[in-house]
Amino acid sequence: MTINVNRRTVLGAFGALTISVVLPGHKARAAVLGAATQPPLKPENLSSYIQVNADGTVVAFWGKMDMGQGTDLGVAQMVAEELDLPIFKVFVQQGNTATSINQGGASGSTGIQQGGTALQSAAAEARYQLVDMASKQLGVPIPDLKVDDGVISSLADPAKSVTYAELIGGRFFDTQLEWNQKIGNSLFVKGRGTIKPVADHKVIGSSPMRRDVPWKVMGSGDYVVDIKVPGMLHARVIRPEVAGAVPVEVDATSVKDIPDVQIVREKGFLAIVAPREWDAIRAADQLKVTWSDSTPNFPTQAGIFDHLRNAKSVHREPGEDVGDVDAAFAGAAKVVEATYDWPFQSHASMGPACAVVEINGDRATLWTGSQKPHFSAAGVAAILDMPSENVHGIWVPGPGSYGRNDAGDAAADAALIAKLTGKPIRVQGMRKDGTRWDPKGPASIHTARAALDKDNNVLAWHFESKGFSRVDVNSNESATRDTLAGQLIDTPLKPGVGFGVPEESYGFPAKRKAWETVAPLLDRASPLRTTHLRDPVGPQIHFASESFMDEVAYAIGVDPLEFRLKYITDPRDIAVVKAATEKAGWQARTAARRQSAGDGKFKGQGMSYAQRSGTRVAVVCEVEIESKTGRIWARKFTVAHDCGMIVNPRQLTHTIEGNIVQAISRSVHEEVQFDDKNVTSVDWETYPILDITETPETIDVVLIDHKELPPSGAGEPSMRPVAAAIANAIFDATGVRIRQAPFTPDKLKAAGLA
């Protein structure tokens, strides 16, 4: 097979976007429909979401982003479905502030759940409008028309027909939608058109090929790192070896041997620019800087969890009790209690972030890999003192994104350097900028207690989390206080507070789920500032809550699956738990089995389950542990996943597989190291992630399709139950209960592995 592809041909259909002349269809129009020029990009305008090109293809403008899970393809499928078009005729344009309303960017696994359903609703209205136009043009009442592949024809006389292209191709819908007045994730629009009954679905539920895969595999398209602008200079931001230090003296003579280098400095911010990238890198390395003294208030690495236990809470969210929790504990025959710890983790995206900013008078353009380009453009505007509508944000695929990573900081860096130099600026970090200096997933401690009666029934469950905030810096970079550059030019900080609670349906008679957060470490430009990292706080919370369910089960001599099935109340939760355990061949037990896998290895099986914003996931994990070294191999994963209606089964499966691998990595390897001066995880040696030699040999995915339910998210839910399933399997294999992640050989030994 020979595949000849480049990105231009795939995007070719977008060429029509710029055509404003009306191309005649092969039949004359009865009336000129739609608008000749595009109505303004406003949330209530149908044209802001759906456009029919002159050739009859359709572009859907999406204000969310695909980070490589094929979410944009899923959205294209939803739009194609409502417009009765084959998938190859529908394209999604994403991540451009000039062509998309801000639907929140990639956020909270809502790409399909909220962003897709909004576009689906807009597409249903577009179809309604098109059929209405056809009815008038053909003189056939609406109920007597059918739509097929973009052709609207009379049921009675198929020769009476008109195509979408003939009706409005190359022109613009000029009607309005009912808009719920929200911008971001929860934006929704609705017209008179209603979405199709599920029974009629042809495109939803199929697995067409992604459009971005060929150019990525062939090396023929642009990532954000490939963007070049005439006159552009390469920049590197220079950050201190001791966190919190700011430059006091900069010795320009130390880089005078490198051509055309310029030093850029404003308050605590220091960068170097050069026309050639290699020169900027060398100069950054060579520049002699005297830094201020700084003594960051970091606890020791080993003392981080004690720090959390002892730190004053800055905010507490007590949650709403179910039943009388205190009375249940007061009257309990037995109390089971355990605490769990989760470290800081890094996004450690595949490459350090990059951004390009070009200023033109009172306007600017940003090219970014940030998953929230609308917010990123607003952040650039704030640095440049421009109204946000003056900054055109363009997303270009970046080196991976799993939340608020260093991409947000790179955009602000590029903006500040462009402002200070007056030149178009491309900034990219070095490896340590992506690992040491990215905003971190918060470290946390969790306490779980269960009150039992004399017959071992659970009377109450009490779950507490205490951690760094998930929004010490916000989950988007629209405010200068939330970026390193902004903080270094003295923007007053305002750390947010946020954490979370387990999502489950255990029907214990009494429940309390609460959380509290502590103050950030180092009040500005901290390498340990915390924010959203894929499934924000989900992995840590469910590591604790679902490890604890096993602990309670074993404490009362009940099989962990039987225990869960006794208490879980939600039928869809029960269904995923049963599906995963049946597929995996669950082996009931009431104590750790310590089975030999030969060669001095033990093997075990563990499970866990969680909900996330409507989605349910249950996982079963089989591990092997070398008893001598404590090395773990999560050999097999079985995942049962219910996210309502499935749009694209293959992409859903791949998304789940990717979550499982990344979650295993975070469970067994990942912990940001630091000392009293700075984060010392600076590269892949000091921040290891899962190697292909450690990847499961089997990941079995069971998809449960609820066509009658709206789709919920899939980008993150399967991340959250993984750590507990591994910990529970480790217990089955060894009898050792690991309550601190990551499950490294050292921690396993500390937990008692002999």
Partner 1 sequence: MFTDSREEDVATKEIQLNVDGNNHVITADPEMPLLYALRDDLGLRNPRFGCGLAQCGACTVHIDGQAVRSCVTPVDSVGVGKVVTLAGLGGGNGKAHKIQTAFIEEQVPQCGYCLNGWLMTAAAFLEANPNPNDGEIRDALSGLKCRCGTHYSIMRAVKRAARA
Q: How far is the CB of 146 from partner 1 (least distance, A)?
A: 34
| Interface with partner 1 (CB under 8 A), residue from 401, 581, 627, 734 | 401
Q: Cβ-closest residue to ligand FES?
A: 350
Q: How far is the CB of 343 from ligand FES (least distance, A)?
A: 22
Residue placing its CB nearer to partner 1 in the complex, 175 or 435: 435
Q: How far is the CB of 327 from partner 1 (least distance, A)?
A: 45
User: Cα dist. 682→22, 401, 433, 436, 673 in Å?
Assistant: 56, 18, 8, 5, 9
Q: How far is the CB of 346 from partner 1 (least distance, A)?
A: 10
Q: How far is the CB of 55 from partner 1 (least distance, A)?
A: 23
Q: Which one of ligand FES, partner 1, none is in contact with 248 (Cβ closer than 5 to 8 A by kind)?
A: partner 1
Q: How far is the CB of 356 from ligand FES (least distance, A)?
A: 20
**Site membership for ligand FES, residue 429 (CB under 6 A):** no
One character per residue 59-78, x = contact with ligand FES (rule: CB under 6 A): ---------x----------
Residue placing its CB nearer to ligand FES in the complex, 285 or 675: 285
Q: How far is the CB of 44 from partner 1 (least distance, A)?
A: 34
Residues 233-262 that bind partner 1 (CB under 8 A): 241-242, 248, 251, 254, 257-258
Residue placing its CB nearer to partner 1 in the complex, 185 or 401: 401
**Site membership for partner 1, residue 55 (CB under 8 A):** no
Q: What share of the chain is helix, strand, coil (3-state, %, to 5)?
A: 30, 25, 45
State the distance between the two ends of the chain, measured CA to CA, in whole angstroms. 54
Residue placing its CB nearer to ligand FES in the complex, 490 or 683: 683
| Interface with ligand FES (CB under 6 A), residue from 379, 400, 495, 696 | 400
Residue 310 tokens, joined: 């002892």
**Site membership for ligand FES, residue 218 (CB under 6 A):** no
Task: Give the total of residues touching ligand FES (CB under 6 A).
Answer: 3
Task: Give the list of residues 6+ apart from residue 505 with CB closer than 8 angstroms, or none.
Answer: 568, 569, 570, 573, 611
**Site membership for partner 1, residue 351 (CB under 8 A):** yes
Largest CA distance in the chain: 85
User: Cα dist. 283→235, 523, 636, 683 in Å?
Assistant: 10, 29, 48, 21
Closest CA to 96 of 364, 412, 367, 387: 367
| Interface with ligand FES (CB under 6 A), residue from 98, 333, 350, 591 | 350
For residues 433 and 675, the answer to whether their CB atoms sit within 8 Å is no
Q: Which one of partner 1, ligand FES, none is in contact with 282 (Cβ closer than 5 to 8 A by kind)?
A: partner 1
Q: DSSP string spanning 134-194? A: HHHHHT--GGGEEEETTEEEESS-TTSEEEHHHHHTTSB---B-EE-S--STT--EE-S--
**Site membership for partner 1, residue 88 (CB under 8 A):** no
Q: DSSP string spanning 647-702? A: S-HHHHHHHHHHHHHHHHHHHHT----B-SSSB---STTTS----GGGS-SEEEEE
Task: Give the list of residues 6+ apart from residue 208 with CB closer than 8 angstroms, or none.
Answer: 73, 77, 87, 88, 648
Residue 733 tokens, joined: 């294999």
Q: DSSP string spanning 1-42? A: ------HHHHHGGGGGGG--SPPP-SS--SS--SBSSPPP--
Residue placing its CB nearer to partner 1 in the complex, 216 or 316: 216
Strand 510-518 to strand 595-598: parallel, antiparallel, or no bridges (unpaired)? Answer: unpaired
**Site membership for ligand FES, residue 688 (CB under 6 A):** no
**Site membership for partner 1, residue 444 (CB under 8 A):** no
Q: How far is the CB of 220 from partner 1 (least distance, A)?
A: 6
Q: Which one of partner 1, ligand FES, none is in contact with 219 (Cβ closer than 5 to 8 A by kind)?
A: partner 1
Dihedral-angle region of residue 725 (phi above 0 means left; psi in -120 to 50 means alpha; beta otherwise): alpha
For residues 623 and 606, the answer to whether their CB atoms sit within 8 Å is yes
Residues 646-665 that bind partner 1 (CB under 8 A): 650-651, 654, 657-662, 665
Residues 424-443 that bind partner 1 (CB under 8 A): 428, 430-431
Q: DSSP string spanning 181-216? A: S--STT--EE-S--PPPGGG-SSTT--PPPSHHHHH
Measured in degrees and rounded to the nearest 5, phi and psi for residue 494 equal -150, 80
Residue placing its CB nearer to partner 1 in the complex, 237 or 448: 237
Distance CA 54, CA 77 (A): 20
For residues 713 and 612, the answer to whether their CB atoms sit within 8 Å is yes
**Site membership for ligand FES, residue 142 (CB under 6 A):** no
Residue placing its CB nearer to partner 1 in the complex, 53 or 659: 659
| Interface with partner 1 (CB under 8 A), residue from 63, 68, 539, 717 | 68
Q: How far is the CB of 437 from ligand FES (least distance, A)?
A: 18
Distance CA 680, CA 678 (A): 6
Residues 665-704 that bind partner 1 (CB under 8 A): 665, 683-685, 689-693, 695-697, 699
Residue 359 tokens, joined: 């200023």
**Site membership for ligand FES, residue 398 (CB under 6 A):** no
| Interface with partner 1 (CB under 8 A), residue from 4, 141, 385, 708 | 4
Residue placing its CB nearer to ligand FES in the complex, 621 or 661: 661
**Site membership for ligand FES, residue 155 (CB under 6 A):** no
- For ligand FES, the binding residues (CB under 6 A) are 68, 350, 400
